[in-house]
Amino acid sequence: MCMPRFYKTIFFLLISAAYSIKAGEIVLTPYERSGIYRIGERVGWTLRQEPPVPDLIYTLKRNGVEVVASGSLSWHDGEAFVAVIADVPSMLRLEVSPGAGGELVAQAGAAIAPEKLAGAPAKPADFDAFWATKISEIQAVPSDPVLTPVADVREEVDYATLTLANIRGARVHGQIAHPARPGQFPALLILQWAGGPYPLQKSWVTDRAAEGWLALNIMPHDLPCDMPKEFYESLPRLLKDYQCIGDDDRNRSYFLAMFLGAWRAADYLSTRSDWNGQTLVVLGPSMGGMQAFAAAALHPRVTHLIAHTPAGCDSLASLNGRAAGYPNWNAGDARVEATAPYFDPVNFAERIHARALVSMGFIDTVTPAAGIWMAFNKLAGIKEAVPMIDTPHGHQAKPGQEKAYNDRRDAWLAALLSGREPAVLPSVVLPRADAGQ
């Protein structure tokens, strides 16, 4: 069944490093280096190749599906141009491939009026009531924290594994670390990407604790976090395809316990005597970003959201002519169509008043940028977007392609550690109408 208050100003990240997109022997340079265009402007790229390879074709797709332009590249003095006029809010993706078929040899992305991107299915009328009921359900279960200290992990850090009670007899499993000295510290809840299941690495919390964080990192599964890799490899196939479990029933969805587990973890941090009572950050990439949206929306003590290419946004995109991404639910099934909106970050976003940092990769097909913009646009508080114009999804990214996000994440965390609110980068100056070739 399963297929494998926008704030007054939108904040964008200027791409201040090199802004040419290189793939193989072809270098693509966007007309506008931010990759962001207004309606009515020319959107395009200059392609350079020495020597030019004949018989290359290009395809320009809107929101990953609709072909808006295509043809053969025409080379003159080692250059070719691809351009269209921006007409509707959307994401555009340029793909270059051999005319005879074969793998892509170059790709690039652009955003047209992304602050106006919308169109995800309407939030269910009982969305808030449903989640209020589920929070009441987990609040009725004592948290029952079980800490197992582990000695000699890192000298300046105290480390332990941790389990907490979840709904219906399930447990939340994770690891926690904090500076090995008396004090109260800002809290950081780290949520995990999809895949596996897989073990958690101690350094994911010990490195943060060494910086000064009370850091908790949890599994998205009711599984121990520190078993040998053979344990996870031997798990049943069904559990490895967990995104399919309960995808047609909001009360059985695998993501229900996952999201409530994130709530429980945030709640546990907020009750600890070594939390400073001021800063509680939820952070995660991909599926971890999806969980972070839920935790920030559902728990009132969360103060900051940092979500890197969050998954699950616009999860029914295929019903509206857009490419969908992970968890790749089967939107053609009416029961799945009824269930998915309860777990979509777009529908959690308007409940989030925490200060938010959200990234999107313009050539990401695993978590498409159009849906992430839709969620970002609905965030109710102060927010900053990190547009990564040359970046695919995390496991596909090359060294340096996620630098824009990593730099901003680190700047936010450093500010929070020092007791300051992170500065939100000013709005990018969008290009003139006569930009381009």
**Domains of the chain, first to last:** 21-116 (2.60.40.1930), 127-417 (3.40.50.1820)
According to DSSP, the β-strands at 157-165 and 146-154 are: antiparallel
Helices (H), ranges, 158-280: 203-211, 229-233, 237-240, 254-271
Reference 291, options 150, 406, 165, 190; nearest CA is 190
pLDDT of residue 15: 35
pLDDT of residue 2: 59
pTM (2 d.p.):
0.92
Contact predicate 280/245, CB 8 Å: no
At 417 the three-state DSSP class reads helix
pLDDT of residue 351: 97
Mean pLDDT, 10 residues at a time, over the chain (437 residues)?
39 36 71 94 94 90 96 92 96 91 89 94 95 98 98 94 98 98 98 96 98 98 96 91 96 98 98 98 98 98 98 96 95 95 98 97 97 96 94 86 95 98 71 41
Radius of gyration of the chain (CA): 22
pLDDT of residue 17: 32
Other Cβ atoms within 10 Å of 8 Cβ, number: 6
Other Cβ atoms within 10 Å of 256 Cβ, number: 23
